[in-house]
Each structure stands twice: as structure tokens, then as C-alpha cells.
Structure 1
């Protein structure tokens, strides 16, 4: 009911079934609320004569009744609903155009349709409409009131759930990793093993042991987090030709190919392998960090730029469990547990794909390598991931198989010179990363029109190189590279370190870096300059391919 004194709609007089008190009844002062609450409590307990342990609170004058000021007339706009930017003129326009019912007014102007459901704007809006109609406010009516009737704190909505700042994504083998001594690391939203440490080991000692054992015998790592996108349809191959810088329509069924994507501005975006499972059926893998962005990228071009293409893309990342097993004895381990297919060089050459079974579970195996060793990625349904993983680990025991985590994975990729998001950082081109051999001259692709802009082909751009610490002290990520070191006045940066590690294969501290005109500087010396961490020292600039530069180990 409309209360002219309070200039608000208030509940009708209480009945025997309920009693009101406080702001609910239009009493907004603390004293009024206490007095009404006391009276309501006594009434509920049996009337004024009921015993009370509360002291009597004398009523004190509260704030004066509000004045009926529903609009501040100004030269500019006079807002009524601040959330939806509804003005007094919008309400009058609704009146002129015949939307005089409160329900029509609400939908025509969106008055009261924001998060507060009109608690701060409905009465002023109705008052302006009442003025335009020449009626009192009660005759105009109200829209249906919806909760919340008072602001609700975020803490109340959260209730007892606390501690998680963002969602957690766990691989199918997560519990196995925890049970087998893994130290977990948050990589994006995913939790991944960092190391499988032994008692008393430091992180560096653990990853050096894992990487060394992988290069000497074999290692296995959980790669379930890689983005996986099914690209299917009659135009799937043509679509991939446009998305990647290199050709995929020529890829044979049962083979995989490494691909590079550019953004529309010609800068490198993401890399990964895509497998051709059928004439119209491809499985694309992306980096873990960019899985969502690549999916968004593909959907945008299919929905907006090339809607005529008959292609369907589906994120299947969570449908597959993945294990990468690599090292000189990796093939022997697979041969010991895979049935239904051979894994010898004839049946499974580099970038080949076969299907078989491991411990009764159907698997798909692709021979490719991120570590630089002969390696295989084994995929099974996510629900069978732990079962297949355990079968691989058990089969590998006689061969000295080790499980390894992100630290060893990163070490081996640095040794091999493979790029990740640290190098594909949104500022580098394919040429900067020495991937220009992947830029097809036979077809256009996303980014091809912009990749040859003057600034992207300049001779002094930062290019990928390797660094060797001549003092054999650890590097720090982000440290600058200078031609001449000046500890008192650091200046003259010619580049920076993107990734670094101690290399068990070389017995040296090494790094990948982006250095100005880096390719021409290979074989020369420079200095690392890191004043914040007080690290200065001489370095040799070399190729980013520290280990097995001709690829004989992974192609063998």
C-alpha cells in the first residue's frame, strides 16, 4: 500500500499470521526499529504483559519524513534508473507513445530491470508517470516486486564455500600423481606435477635426475592438459589450410603434422600438432595455455568470416587422457604393452598414428616429440586414463622408466630449442622464432596479409637464440642481455631471457633468449645484466638448438 508520509509502498497492516518491524514497515531509524522489534517480540510472546528481559527503549526523534522529490530538473539528462540509464524524459516518452501501464513502462524503458529490480528507481519512475497521467501514485500501480528486497552481501551468497580463488582443473591421473610423490604446480587452471621428488631432494636435483634418466632410458609425463579440438566436416582440410601457415589438405590419413597459427596482425599465435584421423576428421592439439583462445579463434572465423564452410569444431580436451613416453627405450616399453598394432619404425614412423590397445583399453598413439627424444603420445578415453598410465608405468619398470614433471619437461624443451608461450608472447613473428620455413607460399592464411609489414621484417628485430653461461652460474628468467656490462649504470639492452635451466645433457646453465639481430650474433659473446637480482656475467650466444640439432634421436 502507498504511504504518503514515507513516500513508499509498505506492507498492509499486520494480521495474526505475521508481525512486522523495522525498515520492512517503513521505520528506518535505529530507535524505531528497536522499539518496533520489542513490541513485535512481546506480541509474539503473548502480549504486553509477557515477561521481558529487554530494557525499555525510549523512542527518540528519527529523521524527518522524506520530501516527494522524484526528479532533479537540469539542463542535461535527469536520470531515474542509474543502472539502466533510464531518464525522466524516457518515462515521459513512454507516456506520449501510449506505454502507460506500469508493466509496459518497465519493458519499454527497462526501468527497474537491473540487479536491484527497481528498489532504487521504481518509485521515482512511477511518480513521474503519475504526474504525466494526472493521477496519484497509488492509482498508477506497481510492477511485481522480486527479491532481493535488500542488498545481499557476496559473503552471504558464498556461504561456507571459501578458499578457491578460481576453478581447478585436474587431469584423469591427478590422484595417481599425488599418491606417488608428485609436487603439484598450478599451470593456468590445471594442476600438474612439477617434480616427483625423492626424500631430501631439492627441486633442481629432482628435475635433473628425471631429465637425465629420460635421455638415458625413458620417461613418461602427463600431457592430458594439452588443448584438443575435433575439426570435422567436408571443408575441414580447407579450413585448416586457412588457419595454419602450412598446408594440411595434403596430409595423409594416419599422419600428423606440426602447425603454426598467426593472428590477423601477422604475429605468432599458437603452435601444435594436428592429426588426420579420416578424410574429414582431424584432431588438433594446442598449447595448454591457449586451448580456450584457439577454440574462440576457430569459432569466430567459422561463424563470422567463413560461414559458408561446412566445418564443425568441438573442444574434446576433457574427453582424452594423454601420456607422452620418450627416450631411447620408449619403443621397447610400448612394444611390451601395446596389442593390436606394431610400433616399429615401419608401422609407426615419425609423425605416424596407429590404434591399438593397452591392458584392454583402446588407445591412439602418435609418434612425435617435445623432449627431443624418440617419443610417443598415447591417448585413451579420460575414464581409462589412470588404468592406461599404470599399465605403461608397470611395463616400463624393467627398462628404467621414470615419471617426470613440468620442470624436467621444460628443461628438455629448452635443450631442444622448442618454443612455448614464453617465446610466442604476442610480440614475435614466425621469422623471429626461425619458423619461417612453415610459411606457405602456395596459399593465403590468417595473418599472411599482415606478416610482411615493415616493422615485422626489420633486420634489428629480436630473434630466438640460445645462451650458455660462461661462468656456469644460474640464469634468471627476464634478465637482460647487453653488449657491455655496466653494473653501476645498467643500460643498452639488446634482448632478454625467456626461459632458463641447468642442462644435465650439457652440464651447463643455459637459456633461450630473444636478442636483437640474434641470428647474426651466434658465435659471439655478450653479457647478462640483472641488477634487481645482482646477476651479471659473460654469455655465449649460440643456436637455440643445444641438443641433438639434426634430430637424429627423435627420428631414429
Structure 2
């Protein structure tokens, strides 16, 4: 302890005669002994200076930790897997029974891959990707954020929140939407389904479900309190199953109560229906695709999740279908050029992501003015591109810096956000951003610089839409 007897006597001369004042003035009792030794001596010195007995002077308040405790013990139980709440989808146990290896996605546990016969991660996801593109695959997509947007002004609200038009979205249709921040930077993307005149079902990315919900509530409470809209997080209320691949419609026809409602004519791309699965399981189905294939998303009440998955898997499995996890999902989205949080990292504009044509020029919406700042409209900003290795047998890493071949230095011209092996193309591919986009680097050699892990790899800049760029498959 660094408090001396002279410090206590000085406190007395300066008028600090209460033991609590003495403690605060001198910091007596604030060392590692918490006053159990130092305070006794200090109080005796104060009593002596006052000419009183120690009981008359009193004692200070002892606070925890009364007995010295290590900082390690104070960390509590919130460590390791208990550091934050772990959310399991209604299909969690079902996925484990099917041999799924789980991983964390946001706060959720989701299947990473479904290994067969001792497969490695790489072997499993390549098989899952190839099978889905050849036949059909099923994926647990429950972790996507789900928000009910309801009320007579729900359409007006969504039209202000999204950068693209929602005012004329018909009932029974879904629309992909881009949400911007006030400063014009992309906040999140997802689909919103119109169920009735006043009822919408919004989906968000897994990572941004809570921020989007908080953002919508802030807008309604502080900016547009006059709008008659209610938003409710319903992420836990619905289990989601993606059915993707050229045979996905056959699967759907076999599990819905009326097969005619899922024909191509009755159920076009971005259509939405509310119906029942076999066994009177009520469901919502949208014809939307993250894989780039003909695909659907089935949502059922969470309690029905395992039964619905049993039903759908019972049809898909004999078709040489598969279950696929996040790794295969990521591979397919990279092949197709779909963005996720890896690309929408808080620095990207809607033009940077290659989605500028979606931004409406006929309405005002959040971020509509500031997104047009000259700095954000520069043609040489990093734009979304696809990346191939020049030597198709080579690999490269996410996080590599894209540099001009004659200037491999500094911050480079761009960066790589995601990589995968493409079973369809037969080689490694990636998504990333590079100054000026694809057109500025067409036919030029670029270096993917990764000095710590891989070294330099010569790459080619291509369109981000590396599979089925015209969308013929998902419209099939």
C-alpha cells in the first residue's frame, strides 16, 4: 500500500476527520488488501490524532471483493461457447441426425456440410454443389431474418425504405430489395413478399436481421410516426427450407396438396403462394433463388419444421438429391455472383455491387440523395467482379489484394471477398472488387497478392455472373 502515516495525519490537519472522507482523500483501503490491514492502522492513526477511541471514529464500508479474487475468476461463465447466446433452428437436431457438421452463422448454428463416407469438407461441398446443379438439393435457411410488416401504410413504408420500387408490387409476388443507409451506402438486401394489401413478409440476411429490425423501428418511431405500420420480428416463428435444382419443381409437385399450383405458368419466378403440404402442414412458398437454379423457399411454422423436412427429403432423396450446407451455398452464390455480408461490408454503394439499375429515379427513399455524391459516383470506384486464375490449376485466397501486374505494392486496385472451387467450371473462382470494374481490366493480367499465406497469383478479371448470366435456369 502506498498510503503513509504522514498522509493520514495530513488528512486530519486538512479537516478530513470522517473515516469515509479519509478513505477517499488518501485512497486508504483501495489496494489489494481492500483495507483489511491498511485501514485498521489508518483508523488507529486518525483516532490518535482526534484524541478519541477507535470505536468512536468508526470503520469504513468494505465492498467486494473482500477476499482477493483473480481477474480470471471474475470473467464469469460467458466464455468460449457460452460467450453469447447460441440459437438453434427448428431443424437443428434433424440436421445432426443426417450427419451435418455445424458451424456458426451470426448467432445461429447452421449446417456447414454433410459428409458422406469420410469425405473432407472440400469433397463434401463440391459434391453437394454438383448434385444440386444436376438434380436437387435441400438447405436449412431458417436463420434468415424474417420481419412481418403490417398496416394500411405498409406499402408506403417499404417504398421509402427500399431503393427500388415497391409501390406497385402485386399481391402474391416477391421482390428483391436493396436497403441503403442515410449516407447512401448499402445496408442490407433481401426479398419481401406481399401476402395481402396490408401484409408483407420481409427477409433479411442472417447477420443483419437485428440491425434491420432496429432500423425499421427507429424510422417508425422518430421519422415517420404518422405512418400506420407495425413491424414484428418473426424469425423464430418460421422454419425455412430451400429446394434448389432442375428437379426442384418435381419435388414441390409431390409435397403440396395441389400440384397444379406450382406449375411454371401458375407459379412464375418471384411468385408467392400460401398452401398446404401433404399432411395438412400450412406453408408459404416463394419461387426465389440464391443458387441461380430453379429454386423455391418453403416456410412452415417452426413446430412443423422437422415434419416438413422429412416430407421434402423423402421425395428429393430418391431423385439422387442431396442436403447441402453453407459451404455449398457459398460456392453456388459465388458462381452466380450474388452478394452477401462479405461484399456488403459497409463501404459498398449500390453501383459498386453492380445493382445500380435497381435504384429508382422516380421516388425519394432512404439514402437517395447522398448516394449521388460525386465521390460515390466515380467511375474508378472498386466495382464487383469475378476472378479466375490465369493458370486454371492454381488457387488463391479470399483477402488477397488485387494489384496491377506492374505495380504490386501498397493497397493495390482492389480485393477478393470470397473464393471457391466451381464444379461446373472445373477450377478455382472468386468474387471481389477492383477499381473501375470488369471493363477497366478486361484482357489485362492482374496479380492477387497474398504475401503472408500464398504469394502472388496471376488472375483474370471476369464478369461476376460466372454461371448462367442470363438467368435461364431460374426462369425454367
Bucket of the pairwise TM-score, normalised by the shorter protein: 0.7 to 0.9
Offset at residue 202 of structure 1 (A): 1.8
- 1:250 aligned to 2:168? yes
Measured after TM superposition, the shift of residue 434 of structure 1 is: 1.2
Q: Contact (CA 8 Å) 2:396, 2:454: kept in 1 or not?
A: no
The alpha-carbon deviation at position 149 of structure 1 amounts to 9.1
Segments of 4+ moved more than 4 angstroms: 66-74, 145-163
Shift of 1:525: 2.5
CA shift at 1:200, angstroms?
A: 3.0
Q: Summarize deviations over 1:26-52 as a string: whole Å, max 9, x none.
A: xxxxxxxxxxxxxxxxxxxxxxxxxxx
- Residue 510 of structure 1 is matched in structure 2 by 429
Structure 2 Cα separation of the partners of residues 161 and 425 of structure 1: 28
Structure 2 unaligned spans of 5+:
26-54, 56-60
1:401 counterpart residue number: 321
Please report how far the alpha carbon of residue 176 of structure 1 lies from its aligned counterpart in structure 2 after TM superposition.
Answer: 1.2
What's the CA shift for 1:492? 6.4
Note closer, same or farther for the CA distance 1:151–1:174 as it changes in structure 2 (3 Å cut): farther
Confirm whether residue 209 of structure 1 aligns to residue 130 of structure 2: no
Contact map agreement 1:521 1:541 (CA 8 A) in 2: no
Q: Give the structure 1 partner of residue 265 of structure 2.
A: 346
The 8 Å contact of residues 390 and 459 in structure 2, kept in 1 or not, is answered as: yes
Choose 1 or 2 for highest CA Rg: 1
Indicate yes or no: 2:383 matched with 1:428: no
Asked if the contact 2:149–2:230 (Cα under 8 Å) also holds between the matched residues in 1, the reply is: yes
Aligned equivalents of 1:344 and 1:415: distance in 2? Answer: 27
Root mean square deviation, CA, Å: 3.3
C-alpha contact 1:490 1:531 (8 A) present in aligned 2:
no
Alignment pair present for 1:530 and 2:450: yes
Tell me if the contact between 2:178 and 2:186 (Cα under 8 Å) persists in the aligned partners. yes
- Residue-pair matches, total: 437
CA contact (8 A) 2:438 2:461 kept: no
2: distance between equivalents of 1:72 and 1:467?
A: 78
CA 72–213 in structure 1, closer or farther in 2 if over 3 Å, else same? farther
User: 1:424-503, aligned counterparts within 5 Å?
Assistant: 424-472=344-392, 473-484=394-405, 490-491=409-410, 493-503=412-422
In 2, the alpha carbon distance for the partners of 1:538 and 1:406 equals: 28
Contact 1:483–1:492 at 8 Å: present in 2 too? no
Q: How far did 1:521 drift? A: 2.4
CA distance in 2: counterparts of 1:239 and 1:318, whole angstroms: 24
Deviation sequence 1:298-348 (CA, Å, 0-9, x none): 111111111111111100001100000010000001111111462111221
Structure 2 CA distance for aligned equivalents of residues 198 and 552 of structure 1: 31
Q: Which segment drifts farther, 515-524 or 470-479?
A: 515-524
Structure 2: how far apart are the matches of 1:297 and 1:425? Answer: 17
**8 Å Cα contact 2:149-2:229 kept in structure 1:** yes
1:492 and 1:524 mapped to 2: Cα distance? 22
Post-superposition CA distance 1:379-423 (Å, at most 9, x none): 000111111011100011221110000110000000000111111
**Partner SS state of residue 189, structure 2:** strand
For residues 509 and 353 of structure 1, what CA distance do their matches in structure 2 show?
A: 35
Asked if 1:262 corresponds to 2:164, the answer is no
Q: Structure 1 residues 152 and 278, CA, compared in 2 at 3 Å: closer, same or farther?
A: farther
Aligned equivalent of 1:189 = 107
CA distance in 2, matches of 1:434, 1:175: 39
Shift of 1:490: 3.8
d(CA) in 1 for partners of 2:374, 2:78: 53
Q: How does 1:304-383 map to 2 (within 5 A)?
A: 304-340=222-258, 342-358=261-277, 359-383=279-303
Distance change (3 Å), C-alpha of 1:532 and 1:251 = same
- Contact 1:465 1:543 (C-alpha < 8 Å) held by counterparts: yes
Secondary structure of the 1:552 match is coil
Q: Counterpart of 1:339 in 2: which secondary structure?
A: coil
Q: Output the CA distance in 2 between the equivalents of 1:482 and 1:306.
A: 46
Distance 1:72 1:279, change over 3 A: farther
Rounded to whole Å, the distance in 2 between the matches of 1:376 and 1:71 is 81
Give how far 1:163 is off: 4.4
Whole-Å separation in 1 of the counterparts to 2:175 and 2:440: 31
- Which is further off, 297-306 or 154-163? 154-163
Deviations 1:486-526 (A, max 9, x none): 7xx74461111011111011112111110000132253222
In 2, the alpha carbon distance for the partners of 1:513 and 1:427 equals: 13
Q: What residue is the counterpart of 2:46 in the other structure?
A: none
Contact 2:401 2:411 in 1 (8 A): no
| Structure 1 residue 70 displacement after superposition | 8.4
TM-score by length of 1: 0.73
Equivalent residue of 2:413, what SS? strand
Mapping of residues 50-449 of structure 1, within 5 Å: 163-164=80-81, 165-340=83-258, 342-358=261-277, 359-449=279-369
TM-score, normalised to structure 2, is 0.84
Structure of higher RCO (CA pairs closer than 8 Å, 6+ residues apart)? 2
Whether the 8 Å CA contact 1:229–1:315 is kept in 2: the answer is: yes
Q: 1:326 to 1:157 in 2, by over 3 A?
A: same
From 516, 520, 526, the counterpart of 2:439: 520
CA separation of 1:158 and 1:492: change in aligned 2, threshold 3 A: closer
The answer on whether the counterparts of 2:300 and 2:308 sit within 8 Å (CA) in structure 1 is yes
